[in-house]
Amino acid sequence: MGRRVVVTGASSGIGAATVRTFRAEGWDVVGVARRQDRLDALAAETGAEVFVADLTKQEDVDALRDHLAATGGIHALVNNAGGAHGLDSVESSSIDDWIWMYEINVIGTKRVISALLPLLRRGAAETGHADICVVTSIAGLTAYVGGGGYNAAKFAEHALTEVLRLELNGEPIRVVEVAPGMVATEEFSLVRFGGDQARRNAVYEDVPEPLSAEDVAGTIVHALTLPRHVDLDLIVVKPVAQAAPYRLHKGELSVKD
């Protein structure tokens, strides 16, 4: 029986790459995001289904649930939607930025899981198992200067994922967390810095081979295509140049004498 996966945050970056990778593996895919034009282009390119939704709005999440239930259900969910705003101190950072980060990274993930878990249980009954993958960040495992609200949101999303795994113990549903380090996508840092292209470019300047969206997508799809009894609870994936969020090598990698 074919498997159907929902990928949130599908309009760009890791989400779009994950849709492409699942489609290349023969999965039925529903890409979810806010931007209709981006989703339409992805659908035309890959043959994926798409659904427009703002995951900070309960009515949109409910509409997504109803659409999926009416069109065949699902067997896997990739909670990828998220983002960062700002790189200021805890003292000086914007409360509005913190609220936005918490809403999309934590509450949005909770909304989607609560809405779609009954469908995943039905999918598990059909195929023998179901999967939930939450894309967090190394920012949810290690604090760093300027991380503030993003650290707080991603630490919370990490905790949510760990609790969910405990709650689902005994059911044939894997809960996988993928925590990427530096990924050079076009939009993540651009959004973080309010559209400042120069600041976005400076993040990746002279970094030898930061991760690509495709690298993370491949990690996600690998985890969800392993034998169903194998659960990669937490996968931390970073470029070799990044030892930690606060320790990043710039310039050529070379062997020490």
**pLDDT tens for each residue of 93-132:** 999 999 999 999 999 999 999 999 999 999 999 999 999 9
Higher pLDDT, 190 or 6: 6
Tell me, what's the pLDDT at 1? 55
Per-residue pLDDT band at 45 (split at 50, 70, 90): very high
Tell me, what's the pLDDT at 257? 85
Tell me, what's the pLDDT at 175? 98
Q: Which of 144, 150, 204, 246 is catalytic?
A: 150
Q: CA-CA distance, 124 to 191, in Å (whole number)?
A: 37
Q: pLDDT tens digit string along 60-88?
A: 999 999 999 999 999 999 999 999 998 99
Closest CA to 7 of 103, 80, 105: 80
Q: pLDDT tens digit string along 140-188?
A: 999 999 999 999 999 999 999 999 999 999 999 999 999 999 999 887 8
Bridge partners, residue 80, by sequence: none
Strand ranges, E, within 94-169: 130-135
Cβ neighbours for 245, distance < 8 A, ≥ 6 positions apart? 138, 139, 142, 143, 144, 147, 181
Positive or negative, the CA dihedral 70, 60, 104, 17 is positive
Q: pLDDT tens digit string along 175-234?
A: 999 999 999 988 787 788 788 788 888 888 889 999 999 999 999 999 999 999 999 999
Specify the pTM. 0.94
Tell me, what's the pLDDT at 191? 80
**150 belongs to the catalytic site:** yes
